[in-house]
Structure formats: structure tokens, C-alpha cells
Amino acid sequence: MAKILNVVKGTKDILPQDAPMWHLLEKNALEIFSKYGYKEIRTPIFEVTELFARGVGDTTDIVNKEMYTFEKSERSLTLRPENTAGVVRSFIENGMSRLSAPVKLWYKGPMFRYERPQAGRQRQFHQVGVEMFGVKEPAADAEAILLAVDYLKSLGLNDLEVEINSLGCPECREAYKKRIKEVLKPEFDNLCEDCRNRYEKNPLRLLDCKVESCKEIFEKPEIKSVILSDFICEDCAEHYSKLKTYLDELGVKYVENKLLVRGLDYYNRTVFEIKSNNLGSQNAVCGGGRYDSLVRNLGGEDTPAVGWAMGMERLISLIPAIEPEKLDGYIVSNSPAEAFKLAADLRNSGLKVEFDLQNKKFTKQLEKASKIARYAFILGEDEIKNNMVLKIFLQLIKSSWKGQNYGVNSKMSEKLNEVIKKLSNAFRKKFDDYKGLYLFGTYLDGKDHEDEDIEIVAIFDIEDKSKREQIWPVIGKIETELEVCIDLYPYTMEDFKMDEELYEEVMEEGIFYNTLGIRQEKGLEQ
């Protein structure tokens, strides 16, 4: 027997059962980023090595230790360890500076770094990110942070902490670097090897060290006072102050962290991270900042820019699992040719169907159907002769419609889906304790009921009547936008159970949607 070849350490297969999670991240990225005016860009996964040496910085661990570099045709090429440098290269090469500012781009795809595999991070990992070019004002920084928060909330992530800092400009940063070196000089021999190497080239990078012995040194009063000093110039201080004002006005909660410098050399002024308290010590899910010199350093015109990136594996580890979607139907038949024809007709009607390609026994086919499909249809001689299965199948789909768009009664299904989506997005952003909602009542049949309300139960963790008053403006806005009437019942699960008649009705017939607005077979109590 031939030797089994395994996946390379630090890489992972994305299996079919995992794919819906990735689709969700990608779908929400397209939806949320488009609302902010961002356009997708796709760059090659390898570039000339010089791009990253000049762009990322030769003092970074990425360039010094972690890049996958190879020689080909007397050229040094590198698998991209991050994508900002590649996007900037494309921005310059394709003359995007001639476009009206701001130029807003977003990307997704694999990155490669030779580092120790850990939870949520592999040697081949995936990032989703944004880059904005052409705006020097702090409003761009604020919008970038707000966009990141909105995207994370669209995934159901509310337990977030935004950290910000200002690194100043190259001019005002020089005095700060000098003071850092002076105060750390007596501790030089006690620093880790990486910090000793960074001491001359880029002393600010010492503040990003994760080694505990170095962290203890930075906590010494005489050193900490220098780290926490206000070294930035008047212009940079004004930029930073305006950023905080914008974030305050937008309702984005943040904390200031003077140790936050980020691991890439191209940042200036604003840097930020967004953290989740559910990831342990390596808890950053988003990192970014301003990089006003990078376009010039890579051969372009002086162009201010700001951006961020998120590790998609880390995001997936934080969001609730999505149950695999079942087929609409499975055709049970010992007549493959007829099953082919019927499957084609059903697929052309917009339905997802399969049949047994191996012509197994009926019992085996029925067993499989029960696992992967909502309906099983036995295709016999009479059914084939009268085309009964297609007619019955479509009728069943119509009569049992449960809020899904199967190409039948699509007008109502689209409107209901939009109602569910808008309610879920609004509640998720406004209420940290939102748990999901149930659709029940008249609209379960999928028909248009112009004189009837759409009946919905929304579930929250905490009974906060003053906060729940914020629900009704949300409802009113959605009703106006979609020209519907919504009858909403906000409950905690405990209070919901006490309304016995309604609870029994909803549990028996209702449809549950999670915080992302995705239908689930099982509700909160099932």
C-alpha cells in the first residue's frame, strides 16, 4: 500500500461542513463593505520579495523570520505574508491615484507565514481586509474603525474591545525613540534577543514584545513614565483628538493603549486593534492603522492611506456554527434515466435535489433521503407515466413553505427574508443580549396577507424595559421601508415561557432565526 500523504503542518483543509461559515464571512464582507463604497480587489498570492522588504519593513519578524521565499528565473519571489503591500503595489501600477479620492478597496484570501501554529492561526491563513487611499483627515481613520466594528457585529460578535493609539509622524517620533533608547539602555542585557536586535533599528518595536521578562521591564516606573508620555507633535495630537471625538460621536467605545504599536513598520499616527474576550491571550481579531508614507516608499506619489485586516480563521472560531442546509428533495427510484429527467425538471424549477447514482436498494435510498433532504419521493411506473412526482413535489413545497425562497411565492419570501434580516441586524447592533427571534402566525404559509401583521417573538437575555423602548423606533423604520406591519413580542426566555399559550403555539409551529438572521431547525429551547 502506498504511503498516505498528510496535509502540511500549519495548513488545513476547509471541508464541506465548514464551507457555510466561510461563505457567511465572505457574504457579509461583500454586503457591509459595499455599503461603505468599497470595491473588491484580488492580487497575486506571490510577489517580488523586495515588495515586502520595502513595504512591511526589514525590522519586522515577518520579513526576518517568517516569509516563504523562493528563487525562480533568477528572481526572488515570496508568498504574500500580508496583503497591504500588494494592494499598494496594484494601486500604484494601475494608476489608481488618478481616481477621485477616496479610493476604497477590500480583499480576502490566503496569506503565508512560517510561524508557530496556534489557535486561530496557521502557516497558511486567510485574511479579509480594507484599504482606503487619498484621505489624510482623521474621519477616514474613524470610518475604518467603524466599518470593522460593523462587520464584526454583522457576524454576531458584540463582546469587543477597541484599542487605539497614536504613533505620531516620523518627525515627532524621533525624539520619542531617543528617549526610549536612553531609558532602556541600562536594561539592554536583560532584553530578549529580538528586542536587542530592534534596539537600534526601530526601538518602538520593543513595545510590541510578547516576552514576559521584557513586559516586566516596561512596567518599571522610570520606563513606564517615558512610554506613557505625550511625545506627539501638535498636528498629530490634533489628528488623534479629532479621531477620539469622531469615535465618541459614533458611539464606538474604545480604550487608549500606549503600548500598541502594531507589528509592521509602515504605520504612522493612528494604530488600532479590536479584541475579543473569548480568544484567550492572543485575542486580537482585527488590527490596522494609518500608513501615509507607504505609497511613496513603494514608488508612488505621496498618498495618505489607512486600512486593517482580520484573520478569518479566528473569526470562524468565534461565531456560532451553521447547520448544513438540507436538499429540498431526494428521488428514490430504480429507473436512473427517469430520475435524471425528473431531477433536471426540479433543478430547473429552482430546487436542490439528488437521486441515487448507484441504483441501491430502496431501503438504502430512503435511509439516505431521511438524512440529507426535506422530502423523499418514490418514483414508480405510475408516477413516471403521469408525471405525478413533479406536480406533487412542487405542490408540497408551496404548501409547506417556511420562509425559504424555493422559487415559489418568491415575492413574499423575499420580503419576509428582508424583514428577518433587517430586524436581526438592527437588534444585534443595538442589544448585546439579543438571542434570536421566532416567526409565527399567518405568514408561515408564505402567502401575501395585506391586512395581517407579521408576528415575531424576539428573545433577549435580560429584562431591561428602559432599553427595550429603543425597539419601537427600529420596528417603525423597517415597517416604513418595507411597507409591512410587524407585531413584535420582546421577551426573555423565562418571561416567554410564562405566556403559556403563546409559547406553546410558537414552539409547535414557529420558525427560529439566530442572531445572524439564519434559519435553524432547533430553537433556543429545542
Domains and CATH numbers, the chain: 19-169+232-318 (3.30.930.10), 327-399 (3.40.50.800), 410-520 (3.30.460.10)
pLDDT bucket at 158, cuts 50 / 70 / 90: confident
- Please enumerate in sequence order all residues whose Cβ is within 8 A of that of 361, keeping only pairs 6 or more positions apart, or say none: none
Q: Around Cβ 361, how many Cβ atoms within 10 Å?
A: 10
The DSSP code for 189 is G
Per-residue model confidence (pLDDT) at position 382: 62
Q: Is the pLDDT of residue 457 over 90?
A: yes
Residue 364 amino acid letter? K
Q: How is 29-72 classified by DSSP, letter by letter?
A: HHHHHHHTT-EE----SEEEHHHHHHHT-TTSHIIIII--EEEE
201-205, 222-226, 290-294: least confidently modelled range: 201-205
263 has pLDDT over 70: no
Q: pLDDT-derived band of residue 408, with 50, 70 and 90 as boundaries?
A: very low
Question: pLDDT over 90 for what percent of the chain?
Answer: 40
- Highest-scoring range by mean pLDDT, 98-112, 314-328, 331-345: 98-112
Lowest-confidence pick of 79-88, 142-151, 360-369: 360-369
Cα distance between residue 27 and residue 244, in whole Å? 30
pLDDT band for position 119 (cuts 50, 70, 90): low
Least confident of 40-54, 58-72, 95-109: 58-72
pLDDT at 133: 98
Out of 191-205, 338-352, 380-394, 506-520, which region has the weakest mean confidence (pLDDT)?
380-394
Task: Write out pLDDT tens, residues 64-76.
Answer: 678 889 998 889 9
pLDDT tier at 38 (50, 70, 90 boundaries)? very high
Averaged pLDDT, 279-294 = 83
Which helix (H) or strand (E) segment holds residue 245: the answer is helix 234-250
Please count the other Cβ atoms lying within 10 Å of the Cβ belonging to residue 387.
12
Percent of the chain with pLDDT over 70: 88
Question: pTM score > 0.85 for this model?
Answer: no
Closest CA to 264 of 111, 493, 407, 467: 111
pLDDT, tens digit, for every residue of 433-454? 888 999 998 888 766 677 788 9
Helix axes 138-154, 234-250, angle to 10 degrees: 40
Provide the mean pLDDT of the chain: 85
Per-residue pLDDT band at 136 (split at 50, 70, 90): very high
| pLDDT, position 519 | 79
Q: How sure is the predictor about 518, in pLDDT bands with cuts at 50, 70 and 90?
A: confident
Torsion sign (Cα): 406, 412, 414, 420 = negative
- Measured in whole angstroms, the distance separating CA 84 from the mean position of its chain's CA atoms is 18
CB 368 within 8 A of CB 356: yes
- Cα–Cα distance for residue pair 22/147, rounded to 1 Å: 19
Q: Are 79 and 46 in contact (CB under 8 A)?
A: yes
Higher pLDDT, 406 or 337: 337
Greater pLDDT, 30 or 121 = 30
pLDDT at 299: 93
pLDDT tens-digit series, residues 324-363:
888 988 998 888 888 898 888 888 878 899 999 988 888 8
Beta carbons within 10 angstroms of residue 389's beta carbon: 24
Rounded CA separation 354/394 (Å): 15
CA atoms within 13 A on the CB side of 325: 13
Structure confidence at residue 393 (pLDDT): 60
Q: Are 346 and 407 in contact (CB under 8 A)?
A: no
Edge-to-edge strand ranges of the sheet holding 327-333: 353-355, 327-333, 373-379
Would you state the pLDDT for residue 411? 41
Sign of the alpha-carbon dihedral angle for 385, 389, 391, 392: positive
Residue 505: pLDDT over 60: yes
- Give residue 397's identity as a one-letter amino acid code: I
Distance CA 421, CA 481 (A): 13
144 — pLDDT class (breaks 50, 70, 90): very high
